[in-house]
Amino acid sequence: MPNNIFLLPNRTGLASRLIAYYNTITMSKLTHLDETGRARMVDVGEKADSVRLAVARGSVQMQPETLALIVEGHIKKGDVLTVAQLAGIMAAKRTSDLIPMCHPLMLNHVAVTCTPNPAQSQIDIEASARLTGKTGVEMEALTAVSVAALTIYDMAKAVDRGMIIGDVRVVQKSGGKSGDWRLETGD
């Protein structure tokens, strides 16, 4: 029996057939698993180059007083928004060092914005990554947002340990075989 992480032991009849069917569908969609369920890096060598773009967003919620300190430049560690922006850009370029199955990519462009949102008492973060290549840049955009958020937390934690990092998600991607996609939400 193959070492299949989705196979449940001691199942017979209908349950066994349903599990086998689920495994077949799931395994065909999980490109980072081989036929036995083991992790593998996808071979993208035969894929055609195309322009790839991904946009990710996230936020860091905080006390209104903390947001005011950041906006006014009164955090002792320095300019929080600029440092977070730079950290996000640097992180996007190192994504393959952090996430095992990510390909090292030659990014054409990375942009990170950290925008104070007083109405929600948070900083909204958006990152975009672009390249011309064989694989997408969603992980690079997500990494940029995540590290920018962690940097904001690190720099302001002395005044607000209750900050909440959240809503990190891909909101748009384009290029490649799967084409264009946009998250259907109100933002």
Mean pLDDT of the chain: 88
- Which domains are present in the chain? 50-178 (3.30.70.640)
Mention every residue, 6+ apart, whose C-beta is less than 8 A from residue 47: 134, 135, 176, 177
d(CA 141, CA 174) in angstroms, rounded, equals 13
Judge whether residue 24 has pLDDT over 60: no
Judge whether residue 40 has pLDDT over 80: no
Name the band, by pLDDT with cuts 50, 70 and 90, for residue 41. Answer: confident
Q: Which residue has the higher pLDDT, 185 or 179?
A: 179
Phi, psi of 117 (to 5 degrees): -125, 85
d(CA 67, CA 152) in angstroms, rounded, equals 10
pLDDT at 47: 80
Can you read off the two tokens belonging to residue 23?
A: 């495994």
Work out the percent of the chain whose per-residue pLDDT is above 70.
Answer: 81
User: pTM score, two decimals?
Assistant: 0.80
- Residues annotated as catalytic (active site), given as ranges: 154
Name the band, by pLDDT with cuts 50, 70 and 90, for residue 129. Answer: very high
